């Protein structure tokens, strides 16, 4: 419920608002003195509030977005006399409430009064005096016309107000001069009080030809001067125009339209007509399209045309197939001045027809042929065909037995012409009423139903095609099949058959006429799945692929019986595989059968088991043995691992074949120990088996802990081994240290002589990592605080760095213990020393990282093991191995028979870390390698037995090379480049390594020679 104290003010507010809504805008008595209800315009100056606003000065003008709720959206502070500026009000117009300086509550009922504020708007137009609705803004008129300026404004608040502002219309003349007196009129002091003003008529008889612009402007004496409230600008041209006519086309094809444009005086009547041509009938003339605006007194070739305000009018003429092939003259005449006229000629010509057949022009009978072309002569194209054993004067494409007849459209194949004059038709050569003979045919496209012997005056075109019997090609998975493998039969059947039939005969298999869908491109595919082939017996199998040609399959199977036109039915189930196949082919060869076929055979071979490549293994690690077999999923295989030295079986078990024929099992090297081993995988019946060799190396160091140390070194592993380290190569050390720290207050120091060392460490307690960290320095310390967890802990240490150049007996790892006072604990230092090797032979294996690897071979490989087959064991994830052809600028995928030679770099992808054994040639009569290099980037390798500087390795092309870039497969990133003659990081004294691939840029051709054999 509304209380009595609030009800009355609310009623006052609503009454006041209602009054404001319905009250008309008041006209001011004084231009500078405002009374409540006055309309004021943005831009006005020296404004004061009249006595009706009360004795106190008005200091605020407020606009409410919702007056009943008192919601304010704009408030302006004023101090009379004041100016209404655009920046104060923006675009917020309407009712503003005035408040004096003592008003403490800003609500509509507390206002001293209100005013209406608007933005001044003036619109200018230039119109014909005779019809003021026709604007000529942007148009041209002749000097015979009389014009008006039309001024509209919203300044109704100035109506009847003394001192109200006025405007001037300024006209810019063609020569650039500006005037406010034009065409006999004074265009100054135009009232601006909300009324529409027509200032006319403006006499153009003495006006110069050219372009005029006009704008209504506020004079300098007006408050609105220079504030952006002037009107829009209008533009019009004054021309000295003669009567003329033009056409949009000089030549038009029959059945098409053309347009003529008359240019003359504005709003004037003219006669438009087609000049008579002797010998032509009325039906042979182009005709004026009826119903067009601006025409009257209509007849097909003679009308009255009224121009628009710009003095122009465009009129369309239509033609059809009856229109004469003639040059017509279109005339325009001034009926008031018979000697004033103009004319234009338009040539109407017969149209044309074209036709093409998609493809090569040679097709198999039964295929669909797309015919297309253009026709500008008619809306329909009539098609017919001539060729071997067809009616002499043509037959329809849909029924080649029925001759076409002049004038009878139903005897032709009819195609509609599109709006862009094109047409298209798909012709199925299998659906023509009878079989077509192979040979040459001619297809006619005619603009009207005319047969071949009546085309003298018709528009037509032809295309020739060759039809051949349908054909069949087949490809299979091969001539041998392993049980459990898929066997695929695929090929191409021309002639657009829906399907082909597959027949298979073997020792324990008969598939009789299986329908196989033929795709739209003629391809088909059929697969005997591994599940089906797993039960096939050994022996030869016969496959027959049957093509129906054009009229369906003649030879079909009904159960195990085959039948067809003119052949004796045969029960194939009673015949051996070879005899059944022969019976079927004899039926297909019958003269009464037009089916075609291809016969292939395959042999089912024994099963097999394969073991994927097994690289050398490290003692202490577990690795997975994998392989494949055609045995079905779920088949159990057994395996045995025996020591090569004494033949003792060290591990045995079973594995089960998974999907796709894959199998695998894990081997723990701790169980079998170091040594050389033979692994054998076999079927349960031991009929099928395979073997492979692998080594297990113990590359782990088991150091003796110094007697004074409280820690104990469990193991250390170094990669590469200590005796194979070369300056500049990367090295990784991994160690495990037991630290019984309970009660000890000292620390452990770790240091190394490696370059760019990176340490990482983890502390384990009860098998769980409790603390970890990393350092980039030659040494670091684990404090007593970091090591003391109240019980024994285990330190897992990792170190990566670069083998340095320099003296012998450098420290790969030092461990030193200090007591609580920082003193070295006597006999607590452990030191692992190493001496970089300069001449040790390179590894006989290529080591691959997960991802892309850029590799090479450092020496010639032995014959028979020097092709891409050496990478067979690498799991590439389906990716090819690539070499780069510099001359062609192309990547080339390696085939298994491609040679792997020194001095060439190859890119290979591996899904996991792996090794590729290399078998180097020992033939001393093989000359050192050399390779011709083209200008540009080449993928190369480094030869020899030890790392060399880039300068030495590339000495043979010293004048031709500029840049060498290696690839870090471990980081999957390119290394910093080496520059010929470079310095700092780019120096050519940096080492390059055997087994790696490099990008080499050559500025001109050269021959790269080996630096080692």
123-134 pLDDT tens trace: 999 999 888 888
Q: Is the pLDDT of residue 1006 over 90?
A: yes
Residue in 706, 700, 701, 702 with CA at minimum distance from that of residue 830: 706
Residue 23 has pLDDT above 50, yes or no: no
Q: How far apart are CA 427 and CA 467, in angstroms?
A: 13
- φ/ψ of 644, rounded to 5, equals -65, -30
**Binning pLDDT at 50, 70 and 90, where does residue 383 land?**
very high
Comparison of pLDDT for 708 and 166, the residue scoring more: 166
Q: Using the predicted structure, report yes or no on whether residue 121 has a pLDDT greater than 90.
A: yes
Residue 328: Cβ within 10 Å count: 24
Q: How far apart are CA 124 and CA 218, in angstroms?
A: 13
b or e along 160-172 (b: 16 or more beta carbons within 10 Å of the residue's beta carbon)?
A: ebeebbebbbbbb
Alpha carbon of residue 263 to chain centroid: 52
Q: How far apart are CA 856 and CA 846, in angstroms?
A: 9
675 in Cβ contact with 601 (< 8 Å): no
Phi, psi of 71 (to 5 degrees): -75, 120
Helix (H) or strand (E) holding 6: helix 4-22
Say what the pTM is. Answer: 0.37
Which of the given ranges, 38-52, 620-634, 807-821, has the highest pLDDT on average? 38-52
Name the token pair of 529.
Answer: 């799945």
3-state secondary structure of 587: helix
Measured CA to CA, the distance from residue 883 to residue 581 in angstroms comes to 48
Average pLDDT over every residue of 517-533: 91
Which CATH code for domain 471-602? Answer: 2.60.40
Q: What are phi and psi of 171, to 5 degrees?
A: -110, 125
Secondary structure of 285-315 as H, E, C letters: CCEECCCCCCEECCCCCEEEEECCCCCEEEE
995: left (phi over 0), alpha (psi -120 to 50) or beta: left
Helix, strand, or coil (residue 409) = helix
Please give the average per-residue pLDDT across 384-389, as a whole number.
94
- DSSP per residue, 344-375: EEEEEE---B--EESSSSEEETT-EEEEEEEB
DSSP 72-108: EEEEEE--SSB---HHHHTT--EEEEEEETT--S-SG
The stretch 823-827 carries a mean pLDDT of: 86
Residue 796 vs residue 433, higher pLDDT: 796
Residue 88 has pLDDT above 90, yes or no: no
Which residue in 483, 528, 493 sits closest to 510, CA to CA? 528
Q: What CATH number does the domain located at 123-239 have?
A: 2.60.40.2950
**What is the DSSP secondary structure assignment for residue 920, as one 8-state letter?**
B
Q: Are 238 and 208 in contact (CB under 8 A)?
A: yes
Residue 740 token pair: 């019984």
Among positive and negative, which fits the CA dihedral 17, 18, 24, 26?
negative
Identical fold, 244-349 and 471-602: yes
Closest CA to 940 of 1008, 894, 866, 845: 1008
Using 50, 70 and 90 to split pLDDT, how confident is the model at 941? very high
Check pLDDT > 50 for residue 3.
no
Q: Determine the pLDDT at residue 434.
A: 74
Share of the chain above pLDDT 70, in %: 95
pLDDT-based confidence at residue 914 (cuts at 50, 70, 90): confident
Helices (H), 834-925: none
Structure confidence at residue 26 as a pLDDT band (50, 70, 90): very low
What value does the mean pLDDT take over residues 76-103? 90
What is the torsional sign of CA 88, 91, 92, 93?
Answer: positive
- Residue 840 has what pLDDT? 38
pLDDT over threshold 50, residue 4: no
User: Is the distance from CB of 70 to CB of 106 less than 8 angstroms?
Assistant: yes
Lowest-confidence range among 296-300, 497-501, 603-607, 908-912? Answer: 603-607
Q: Pick the range with the lowest mean pLDDT from 24-33, 395-404, 968-977.
A: 24-33
Four-way CATH pick for 244-349: 1.10.287.3510, 3.10.150.10, 2.60.40.10, 3.40.1170.10: 2.60.40.10
Mean pLDDT of 78-89: 89
Q: Provide the pLDDT for residue 445.
A: 96
The class level of CATH for 712-834 reads mainly beta
- The average confidence (pLDDT) of the chain is 87
DSSP string, 792-824: -EEEEEEEEEEPPSS-SSEEEEEEEEE-TTSPB
pLDDT surpasses 50 at 154: yes
* Calpha distance 399→382 (Å, rounded): 14
Contacts of 762 (CB under 8 A, 6+ apart): 769, 771, 772, 795, 796
How many CB atoms within 10 Å of residue 795? 22
Whole-number pLDDT of residue 979: 92
Per-residue pLDDT reduced to its tens digit, 762-772:
988 888 888 88
Q: What is the sign of the dihedral through the CA atoms of 702, 705, 706 and 711?
A: positive
How far apart CA 841 and CA 55 sit, in angstroms, is: 112
Q: What is the pLDDT of residue 807?
A: 52
**Any idea what the Cα angle at residue 673 is, between residues 669 and 678, rounded to 5°?**
80
d(CA 172, CA 268): 28
| pLDDT tens track for 307-362 | 998 889 999 999 988 888 899 999 999 998 877 888 999 999 888 899 999 988 89
Tokens of 682: 């076999």
Q: Which of 315, 268, 271 has its CA nearest to residue 297?
A: 271
Q: Which residues of 614-636 are buried (b: 16+ CB within 10 A; e: fewer)?
A: bbebbbeeeeebbbbbbbeeebe
Contact of 848 with 918, CB cutoff 8 Å: no
CB 217 within 8 Å of CB 226: no
Neighbours of 984 (CB within 10 A): 7
Cβ 690 vs Cβ 608: under 8 Å: yes
pLDDT > 80? residue 6 = no
Helix runs in 449-545, H state only? 530-533
**HSE (side-chain half, CA atoms, 13 Å) at 642:** 12
**pLDDT at residue 630 greater than cutoff 80:** no
Which pLDDT score is estimated for 997? 95
- The pLDDT of residue 600: 92
pLDDT of 966 strictly over 90: yes
CA 746 to chain centre: 64
Q: Which CATH class is domain 353-468?
A: mainly beta
What whole-number distance in Å separates Cα of residue 827 and Cα of residue 81? 102
Compute the radius of gyration of the chain from its Cα atoms.
51
Residue spans of the domains in the chain: they are 33-118, 123-239, 244-349, 353-468, 471-602, 610-697, 712-834, 845-1009
The domain made up of 610-697 is a member of CATH 2.60.40.1930: yes
Q: Is the pLDDT of residue 177 over 80?
A: yes
pLDDT band at 791 (very low <50, low <70, confident <90, very high): confident
Q: For 184, what's the count of Cα atoms within 13 Å in the CB-facing half-sphere?
A: 10
């Amino acid at each position: 419920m509304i209380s009595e104290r609030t009800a009355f003010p609310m009623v006052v507010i609503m009454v006041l608002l209602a009054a404001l809504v319905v009250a008309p805008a008041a006209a001011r008595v004084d231009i500078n003195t405002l009374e409540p209800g006055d309309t004021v315009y943005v831009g006005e100056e020296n404004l004061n509030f009249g006595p009706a606003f009360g004795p106190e000065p008005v200091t605020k003008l407020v606009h409410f977005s919702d007056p009943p709720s008192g919601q304010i959206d704009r408030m302006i502070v004023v101090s009379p006399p004041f100016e209404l500026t655009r920046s104060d009000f923006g675009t917020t117009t309407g009712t503003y409430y005035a408040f004096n300086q003592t008003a403490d509550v800003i609500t509509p009922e507390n206002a001293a009064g209100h005013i209406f504020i608007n933005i001044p708007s003036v619109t200018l137009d230039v119109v014909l005096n005779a019809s003021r609705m026709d604007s000529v803004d942007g148009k041209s008129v002749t000097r015979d016309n009389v014009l008006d300026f039309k001024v509209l404004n919203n300044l109704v608040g100035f109506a009847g107000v003394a001192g109200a502002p006025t405007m001037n219309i300024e006209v810019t003349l063609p020569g650039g001069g500006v005037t406010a007196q034009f065409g006999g009129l004074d265009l100054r002091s135009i009232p601006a009080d909300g009324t529409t003003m027509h200032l006319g008529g403006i006499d153009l008889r003495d006006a110069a030809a050219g372009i005029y612009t006009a704008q209504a402007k506020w004079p300098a004496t007006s408050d609105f001067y220079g504030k952006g409230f002037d009107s829009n600008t209008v533009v019009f041209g004054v021309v000295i125009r003669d009567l003329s006519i033009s056409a949009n086309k000089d030549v038009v094809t029959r059945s098409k339209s053309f347009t003529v444009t008359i240019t003359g005086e504005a709003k004037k009547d003219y006669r438009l007509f087609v000049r008579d041509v002797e010998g032509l009938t009325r039906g042979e003339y182009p005709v004026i399209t009826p119903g067009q605006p601006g025409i009257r007194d209509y007849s097909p070739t003679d009308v009255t045309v009224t121009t628009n305000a710009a003095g122009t009018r465009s009129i369309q003429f239509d033609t059809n197939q009856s229109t004469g092939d003639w040059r017509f003259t279109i005339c325009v005449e001034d009926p008031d001045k018979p000697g004033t006229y103009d004319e234009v000629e338009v040539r109407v010509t017969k149209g044309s027809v074209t036709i093409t057949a998609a493809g090569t022009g040679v097709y198999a009978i039964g295929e669909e042929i797309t015919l297309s072309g253009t026709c500008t002569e008619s809306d329909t194209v009539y098609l017919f065909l001539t060729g071997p054993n067809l009616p002499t004067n043509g037959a329809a494409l849909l029924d080649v037995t029925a001759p076409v007849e002049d004038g009878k459209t139903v005897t032709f194949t009819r195609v509609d012409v599109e709006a862009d004059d094109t047409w298209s038709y798909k012709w199925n050569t299998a659906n023509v009423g009878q079989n077509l003979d192979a040979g040459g045919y001619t297809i006619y496209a005619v603009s009207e139903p005319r047969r071949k012997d009546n085309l003298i005056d018709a528009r037509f075109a032809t295309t020739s095609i060759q039809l051949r019997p349908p054909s069949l090609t087949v490809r299979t998975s091969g001539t041998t099949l392993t049980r459990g493998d898929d066997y695929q039969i695929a090929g191409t059947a021309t002639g657009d058959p829906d399907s082909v039939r597959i027949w298979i005969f073997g020792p324990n298999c008969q598939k009789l006429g299986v329908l196989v869908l033929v795709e739209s491109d003629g391809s088909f595919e059929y697969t005997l799945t591994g599940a089906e082939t797993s039960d096939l017996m050994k022996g030869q199998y016969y496959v027959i692929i049957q093509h129906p040609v054009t009229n369906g399959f003649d030879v079909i199977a009904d159960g195990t019986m085959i039948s067809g036109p003119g052949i004796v039915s045969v029960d194939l189930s009673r015949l051996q595989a070879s005899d059944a196949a022969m019976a079927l082919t004899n039926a297909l060869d019958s003269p009464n059968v037009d089916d075609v076929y291809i016969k292939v055979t395959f042999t089912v071979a024994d099963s097999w088991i394969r073991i994927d490549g097994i690289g050398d293994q490290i003692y202490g690690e577990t690795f997975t043995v994998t392989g494949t077999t055609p045995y079905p999923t779920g088949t159990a295989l057994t395996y045995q691992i025996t020591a090569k030295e004494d033949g003792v079986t060290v591990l045995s078990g079973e594995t089960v074949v998974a999907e796709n024929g894959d199998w695998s099992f894990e081997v723990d090297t701790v169980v079998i120990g170091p040594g050389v081993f033979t692994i054998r995988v076999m079927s349960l019946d031991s009929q099928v088996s395979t073997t492979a060799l692998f080594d297990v190396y113990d590359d782990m160091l088991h150091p003796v802990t110094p007697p004074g140390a409280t820690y104990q070194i469990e193991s250390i592993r170094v990669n590469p081994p200590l005796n194979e380290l070369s300056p500049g190569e990367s090295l990784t050390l991994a160690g495990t240290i037991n630290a019984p720290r309970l009660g000890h207050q000292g620390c452990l120091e770790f240091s190394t002589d490696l370059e760019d060392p990176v340490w990482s460490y983890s502390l384990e307690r009860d098998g769980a990592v409790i603390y970890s960290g990393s350092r980039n320095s030659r040494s670091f310390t684990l404090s007593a605080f970091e090591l003391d967890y109240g019980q024994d802990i285990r330190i897992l240490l990792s170190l990566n760095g670069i083998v340095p150049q320099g003296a012998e007996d450098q420290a790969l790892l030092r461990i030193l213990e200090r007591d609580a006072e920082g003193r070295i604990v006597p006999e607590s230092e452990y030191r692992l020393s190493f001496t970089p090797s300069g001449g040790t032979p390179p590894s006989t294996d290529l080591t691959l990282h997960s991802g892309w690897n850029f590799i090479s071979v450092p020496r010639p490989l032995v014959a028979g093991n020097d092709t891409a087959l050496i990478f067979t064991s690498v799991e590439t994830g389906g990716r090819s191995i690539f070499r780069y052809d510099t001359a062609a600028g192309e990547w080339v995928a390696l085939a298994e028979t491609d040679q792997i030679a020194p001095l060439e770099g190859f890119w290979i992808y591996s899904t996991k870390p792996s090794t590729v054994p290399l078998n180097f040639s020992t033939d001393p009569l093989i000359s050192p390698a050399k390779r011709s290099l083209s200008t540009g980037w080449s993928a190369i390798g480094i030869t020899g037995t030890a790392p060399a500087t880039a300068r030495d390795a590339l000495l043979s092309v010293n004048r031709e090379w500029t840049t060498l870039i290696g690839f870090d497969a471990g980081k999957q990133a390119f290394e910093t480049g080496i520059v010929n003659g470079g310095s700092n990081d780019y120096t050519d004294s940096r080492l390059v390594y055997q087994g790696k691939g490099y990008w080499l840029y050559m500025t001109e051709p050269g021959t790269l020679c080996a630096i080692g054999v």
